[in-house]
Amino acid sequence: MTTERRNPRSVDIDLIPIERVLKIINAEDALAAGAVAAAIPNIAKVVELAVNAIRTGGRVIYVGAGTSGRIAALDAAECPPTFSAPVEWVQAVMAGGAKALTRSIEGGEDDREKAASDLKSKKLTTNDVVIGVAASGSTPYTLAGLEFAKDKGAKTVAVVCAENTPMSKTADLTVCTAVGPEVITGSTRMKAGTAQKLVLNMISTAVMIRLGMTYSNWMINVSMTNSKLRQRGIQMLEEILGVKPDEAARLVEASGGKLKVAVLMGATGCGRKEAEKRLAEANGNLRRVIGYMGIGRE
């Protein structure tokens, strides 16, 4: 496996000055972005699958073990606070369960039966998309998860860092980021992990954009659950509506802390109930409502 090969560019790395060590690591990390760029056509196909899944009542479910599982769990966990997305939309299942998020449970990655059990609890349907994440593309837990999902009729995706892997042969679609051998042989928390994080961030962010969970590049659905996020919401209103901070703060209060409602109230002068009604009619898509009113552009 390419992910387990020795890297000729980091041979005897333990004998050189620290600054040179860091430059080698940095140069290798830079390769991850290029590997991800090469995979964009397939990443786009995954986004289309995921958007269609959510629109038809399905979910995106990541499956992984070790570093890959933790990266997947992090991406899923960030969707609700960033986009106010329902927690059901993007989920993660990882070998070893919640305990494995904070400490290594390496034996869990070999447990094929637990993968089937974990996914069985999700009650998969044909509307779901299951995304297996593993650098080697052969992790038993993740592979078994994809096999189980496929048996249930769910769409399956493999996110891997090597060509022609067992996961790739199982999945309907593969995203391969061929980052090559790591600085420390086999330590796929490094380049491979970086590439995986980039891919999953791209998938979840693009999905949320397509589902209308942003307005332009503003985080319009952010949950204002603390002072920092409230201030962020006020600043967005200032920029979108061209109003002063006091007026933006008033709109936040009047809208019940719902930014999209606040934008419509500020742009049209309508009340909260009317703004909520217009948004509901457009399935919460602010751009669609603003386009219908002739404000802004599609």
Catalytic residue IDs? 78, 109
CB 91 within 8 A of CB 62: yes
In angstroms, the first-to-last Cα distance of the chain is 47
Q: What is the DSSP string of 35-86?
A: HHHHTHHHHHHHHHHHHHHHHTT--EEEEE-HHHHHHHHHHHHHHHHHH---
For 104, other C-beta atoms within 10 Å of its C-beta total 12
Buried b (16+ CB within 10 A) or exposed e, 10-23: beeeeeeeeeeeee
- Residue in the structure block whose two tokens are 């751009």: 287
* Both tokens assigned to 221: 């659905």
Q: What is the DSSP string of 186-231?
A: T-TTTHHHHHHHHHHHHHHHHHHHHTT-SBTTB-TT----SHHHHH
Q: Which of 72, 53, 195 is nearest to 131 (CA)?
A: 72
Look up residue 76 and give its amino acid. A
CB 208 within 8 A of CB 79: yes
The SS3 call for residue 100 is helix
- Counting DSSP H helices and E strands in the chain, the numbers are 12, 5
CB 63 within 8 A of CB 91: no
